[in-house]
Structure 1
Amino acid sequence: MQRLTFGSITVDAVSDGVLSCALTGMLPGADPADFRRLGGCDDGETLLLPMLTFVIGSVGKTILVDTGIGPTIGSLGRAGYGGTVGLLPQGLARTGIDPATVDAVVFTHLHADHIGWNVTDRNGELVPTFPNAEYIVSKSEWAFWSATQSRDIARCVRSIEERGQLRSVEDGFEPAPGVQMIATPGHTPGHASILVTADGSGCVIVGDAAHHPAEFEDPTLQPPYDSDPAMARETRLGLAERVEAEGLLVAGGHFPAPHVGTLVRVEGKRRWRWLGAG
């Protein structure tokens, strides 16, 4: 993804790798032709899902949105996913980002493929990968996951909480000027998207409110991992309407390259247009 710039705010994407899965397993009823057109599924059968972390620079602060899947595929491997992961540390190094200089990690939600690099195993001890960062999650998301016995949560989030670095916040929280968490529930109970705006332009980082742009074109596409399918569908429609009304760009953590685009109307139908496309 090319760097996005909104006033003095910058947004970059750093990859933690790519997962692969069956298209119809991820999005039952998907039309392979749509995915050949939009990208991410050239053979019409296998969907490739990038694992992206977004790096936001605002007023001297460095903010990460999600931390990828981590060094291994973990439980997703047992669910039939394949791919190459664990690339975030070297990706950050290539962009000149020292983990110690990260001010905040903001979560869209707490699924395993978004929290994997919260911690690093150093000689058998789990330590925060971003030692000086505040790790920020919506209150409703943490209320849900903190009541579970998830091993991923215990490893990657409770260990952060025990060190006093976890903060749960209300909808609308701003970790830096021009950066705002907005409630987009449905995929998980407290899912948030990250709105970045400055000087009359902006983008929304949608997390898993949509895994692929095709979900904005076809509201009937529904991944099996949404905790509340009806609410997730309503959220996607609401996001699409806001994007159209405000002329926002959309960046997706699992969208194929170039990972960002917008929504336009073509003959009365909502269509996805990649950034830079004619």
Structure 2
Amino acid sequence: MAEENERVQTMVLGDVEVIRIVEWHEPFAPTSGMFPGVDTEVWKSNENWLAPDHWQPEGDLAVLALQTWVLRSAGRTVLVDTAVGNGRERPGMAPFHRRQGDFLGLLAQAGVRPEDVDVVVNTHLHVDHVGWNTVDADGQWVPTFPHAQYLIPAADDFHYGPDNAYGNGRQEVDRLIYEDSIAPVHRAGQAVLWEGAHHIDEHLTLESAPGHTPGSSVLRLASGSDRAVFAGDLLHSPVQILHPCCNSNACLDPRQAVASRRRILARAAEQRELLIPAHFGGTGAVEVRKKADGFTLGPWATTHPLKGQPAS
């Protein structure tokens, strides 16, 4: 689990500073339920590197991180996903229900005030990716980042928004998530819906990678000789690099999720893109290598704890 002084980490990719904000890093769920396609022996045979950052052998629990990536790119501050948020009604989701955390304090340690953020990327609209989109202001949910443009996949906005009328896998908790974390952004005029691909700046491009949700996306970074892909929930555990045909239990379209995962992993291996999924522990980022007809892990990225600094 991440120590207190490891919850804000940094690395540099080309001309982009990348700051990792770890809101939470804990055992999350039994592997048999979360990754039903992954045999128990896979976890056991890889225990030497899966434990403790990605797997807890006692109880056979997947260990996940909830985190946001802050990118200082082309003179702007970009957030990739906004974790869980505080004070949310999330019935049936015990780790997230009425949570109280110090996310904004961690951002401040990184020198980021809410008003400094220029762009918020929601890779998709699940509970642990949109929670800090908003904060409670005198009983009303309002955007946390008052000057930011929020980039929201159009397909997810339709699926989880009121127009879908609870169809195709939408649950009651999804309505709550949309109402407190997405709808207020629309009302404030800060939401930008996109589909296919979306160019943010000379270093950053969003790209659709559906399957986990209809609008699931990845963010590609290219700066100098460095390449990275912020992969959202394309993968939840490094075992899915070894077994890309295995989905998490939260993938709405399993076949499409496998196709997107294979495509992104293949490109990461070919172009030496650093793979940065939303929930990996360790340093949160790893290289991918081609192996026979599949993939294996390369070196993990090196990150450094960022000493606390006042928000500028």
TM-score by length of 1: 0.91
Q: 5 Å matches for 1:166-181?
A: 166-181=191-206
Q: Quick one: which of 31, 50, 54 aligns to 1:23? A: 31
* 1:42 aligned partner, one-letter code: Q
Q: Quick one: which of 59, 78, 81 aligns to 2:92? A: 78
1:56 corresponds to: 71
Shift in Å at residue 40 of structure 1?
A: 1.2
Distance 2:301 2:274 in 1: 11
1:247 corresponds to: 272
Runs (5+) with no aligned partner, structure 1? none
Identity value in percent: 25
Q: Quick one: which of 13, 17, 22 aligns to 1:6? A: 13
Shift in Å at residue 276 of structure 1?
A: 5.0
Aligned-partner SS, 2:132: coil
Distance 1:73 1:260 in 2: 29
Q: How far does the alpha carbon of each residue in 1:168-212 deviate from its partner, in whole angstroms, 9 at most, with x for none?
A: 023221222210001110000011100011113210000001111
* 2:214 aligned partner, one-letter code: P
2:211 corresponds to: 186
Kept in 2, the 8 Å contact 1:69–1:113? The answer is: yes
Aligned-partner SS, 1:173: strand
CA spacing shift, 1:269–1:145, aligned 2, 3 Å: closer
Aligned-partner SS, 2:147: coil
Q: 5 Å matches for 1:115-134?
A: 115-134=130-149
1:43 corresponds to: 57
Distance 1:118 1:182 in 2: 21
Distance 1:205 1:74 in 2: 28
Q: How far does the alpha carbon of each residue in 1:69-92 deviate from its partner, in whole angstroms, 9 at most, with x for none?
A: 1125753x7246589863321110
CA spacing shift, 1:140–1:223, aligned 2, 3 Å: same
Structure of greater relative contact order (alpha carbons < 8 Å, 6+ residues apart): 2
2:111 corresponds to: 96
Runs (5+) with no aligned partner, structure 2? 1-7, 167-174, 303-312
Distance 1:29 1:88 in 2: 33
CA-based RMSD of the aligned residues comes to: 2.3
Shift in Å at residue 102 of structure 1?
A: 0.1
Kept in 1, the 8 Å contact 2:84–2:131? The answer is: yes
**What count of residue pairs does the alignment treat as equivalent?**
276
Aligned-partner SS, 1:216: helix
CA spacing shift, 1:269–1:181, aligned 2, 3 Å: closer
